[in-house]
Amino acid sequence: MKGFWRRFSRNTGAVIGLAVFVVVLILALFGPWIAPGNPWDMAGAPVSPPLSDPHLLGTDMLGRDVFSTIVHGARVSLVIGAVSTAAALLLGVTIGAVAGYSGGIIDDILMRFTEFFQAIPSFVLALLIVAIFQPSVASIVTAVAIVSWPPVARVVRGEFLSLRSREFVQAAVVLGKSTPAIVFREILPNALSPIVVLASFMVATAILLEAALSFLGLGDPNVMSWGFMIGSGRSTIRLAWWTSVFPGIALFLTVLALNLIGEGLSDALNPRLHDRGES
Amino acid sequence: MDLSHFLRFIAQRLIKAVSVVIGVIILAFFLVRLAPGDPALVIAGQSGAADAQFLDQLRQQFGLDKSMPEQLFIYLKGIAQFDLGYSHRVQRTVASLIGERLPATILLTGAAFLFAVSVGVTLGVLAARRVGTWADSLITVVALTCYATPLFWVGLIFILIFSIQLGWLPALGMFTIGADLSGPAFALDVGRHLILPALTLGLFFMALYARLTRASMLEVATQDFVRTARAKGLREGPIVRRHVLRNALLPVIGFAGVQAGTLVGGSVLVETVFSWPGVGRLAFEALLARDYNLLLGVFITTSAMAVVINLITDVVYALVDPRIEVGA
């Protein structure tokens, strides 16, 4: 653990990313105390420019405080990012592990299935799913998870394929250990580091995807989100640029922070492998 | 690769492409049926025209009184004849609506792709040749930044800077309405409208190709045949161009195919931001009106587009790389 932290902190970008992420996390956790009140409510005169007291980042056409919407949007972004990534990991690890461990025709079928999901425009599929099942946090999480598991399956399959033939796994087989024991105790712990690295990039992508969906008006109508604010400020950008610009900066910084953390994790967990192996 | 091998390779890829498209249609079919409620109601949506007669017509069109496999067969047969259904909202067939918008989307994604590949590969080569210097770091930072920027937001920022503040480029649409231009003047007008959307859509992929080219160049540069070229006394320029770059480009081409779906999906956002009259903008309009028939049509069409791009890159890859395994 100490060695891990030393390698991680050698990457300046990763440390900056972590610091930014902690700030976003604090906003998400303590939002109601940092910016009290309902972010949907009118808080002041409409179209107040930034730095006009007490609206640090101004207000939008309906008098909503932009800073308050950013604070409340952090929670939604992080929750959707985390939950959909967890769901995608569950799906991807299961499919990848079964494919890589069984090999043969099962592997063939599962990989065709995975390729199929990679070949189609995932954003349009996500759009369709959310539109048909009506926008809600649950439908957004489902849609994001359904379009983001394929890379996990591919990576996990690759790890399982190569680990399965390693000596310590062969030894476990010879010792008569059960398949679940081999999979969960021997192979999976050794395949964990690429999964962790991938997960941090996936949270970033999931947050972007949620923002894009809300931007198009497919966000959960009950929760404030950054994408919604960018979208709602779009038509009045001539009049009130700050309504779209500031939530966008929040989104950009969060995604950048997660990407930097991912790079740092990659350096720290695979000291010899600097390539991300994007596929 | 000789001709018969090549033809067999093409045939295999074609079969794969067709099966993906069939898979997409089946997926679309089941998505509508998984939705809560009567599929006819789902398809009719909130288009405001869900009168009993229209619902009956939909039930008949989709054969909702028949068994599931029969319904699927009817649906597949319809699409094989380019019948994507009818949009009650605008009183036109979905196929004609999409056909009308397709050229604009092809122009936009094509331009974005060309920009992303040319600039991305150039930046990647520059970074790899100056690895460890400030130029390399700068390119890496630019790539990381483009990587993290939400493209719909960048589009807005571009409009804010280049259209509203500086007044250099038009913000919305594909051509100046009412200008009634023709010939070269029209092409120039479309070109001016194309710059900002193409740039916006291409930025993320440019970053991707820059990083990929850099990594791939550095890897190829350590291989034996490059050392041999150097030992022969070749100058650095020809080595980079003929030996390193040519081999380093292979993974970039392969990756371009994999990313085709993301490119086409991104056009939905970019077309919405810039009011570009393409298929993506059509998807947004369908979304606003809850016109699911149209939305399904867009899903199937954009998937087919991604599959075709994938097919083209596969063929290009095979032509460029003689080592490719046929049958893989």
Please write the tens of the pLDDT for every residue from B125-177.
888 888 777 878 888 888 888 888 898 899 989 988 888 878 787 778 777 77
Determine whether the interchain pair A131/B287 forms a contact, defined as Cβ–Cβ distance below 8 Å: yes
Determine whether the interchain pair A128/B299 forms a contact, defined as Cβ–Cβ distance below 8 Å: yes
How much is the pLDDT for A62? 75
Which of A124, A230, A232, A259 to mutate to probe the B interface, most B CBs <10 Å?
A: A124
- Read off the pLDDT of residues A78-137 as tens digits, 9 standing for 90 and up: 999 999 999 999 999 999 999 988 888 999 899 989 988 888 888 999 998 998 888 899
From chain A residues 210-229, the ones with a CB under 8 A of any chain B CB are: 211-212, 215-218, 227
How much is the pLDDT for B327? 42
Check whether A276 has a pLDDT greater than 60: no
Which of B19, B153, B200 to mutate to probe the A interface, most A CBs <10 Å?
A: B153
Task: Kindly identify which residue of chain A lies nearest to residue B299, measuring between CA atoms.
Answer: A124
User: How far is the C-alpha of B317 from the C-alpha of B26, rounded, in Å?
Assistant: 30
Q: What is the pTM of this model?
A: 0.85
Q: What is the DSSP letter of A136?
A: -
Exposure letters B146-165 (e unless 16+ CB within 10 A, then b): bbbbbbbbbbbbbbbebbee
Polymer length of chain B: 328
Determine whether the interchain pair B153/A133 forms a contact, defined as Cβ–Cβ distance below 8 Å: no
Determine whether the interchain pair A124/B298 forms a contact, defined as Cβ–Cβ distance below 8 Å: yes
Check whether A277 has a pLDDT greater than 60: no
Report mean pLDDT in 10-residue bins for chain B, 328 residues.
77 88 87 72 60 73 72 79 74 84 90 90 86 80 85 89 82 73 76 88 89 84 79 78 78 79 87 89 83 84 88 81 52
Task: Kindly identify which residue of chain B lies nearest to residue A205, measuring between CA atoms.
Answer: B148
- Read off the pLDDT of residues A236-263 as tens digits, 9 standing for 90 and up: 877 788 888 888 999 999 999 998 898 8
User: How far is the C-alpha of A126 from the C-alpha of B48, rounded, in Å?
Assistant: 24
> Is A248 part of the contact surface with chain B (CB cutoff 8 Å)?
yes
Residue B86, strand partner residues: B93
User: How far is the C-alpha of B172 from the C-alpha of B274, rounded, in Å?
Assistant: 5
- Read off the pLDDT of residues A145-178 as tens digits, 9 standing for 90 and up: 999 999 999 999 988 888 888 888 888 888 888 8
User: How far is the C-alpha of B155 from the C-alpha of A234, rounded, in Å?
Assistant: 10
Nearest to B306 among A121, A132, A238 (CB): A121
Determine whether the interchain pair A120/B261 forms a contact, defined as Cβ–Cβ distance below 8 Å: yes
User: How far is the C-alpha of A46 from the C-alpha of A66, rounded, in Å?
Assistant: 11
How close does chain A come to B299, measured CA to CA in Å?
6
User: How far is the C-alpha of B29 from the C-alpha of B33, rounded, in Å?
Assistant: 7
CA distances from A90 to A81, A87, A232 (A): 14, 5, 34
Check whether A198 has a pLDDT greater than 80: yes
> Is A256 part of the contact surface with chain B (CB cutoff 8 Å)?
yes
Q: Give percent of chain B with pLDDT exceeding 70.
A: 89
Is residue A211 within 8 A of residue A223, CB to CB? The reply is no
Polymer length of chain A: 279
Cβ atoms within 10 Å of A12's Cβ, excluding its own: 10
User: A122: which chain B residues are within 8 Å (Cβ-Cβ)?
Assistant: 261-262, 265
From chain A residues 101-140, the ones with a CB under 8 A of any chain B CB are: 116, 118-125, 127-129, 131-133
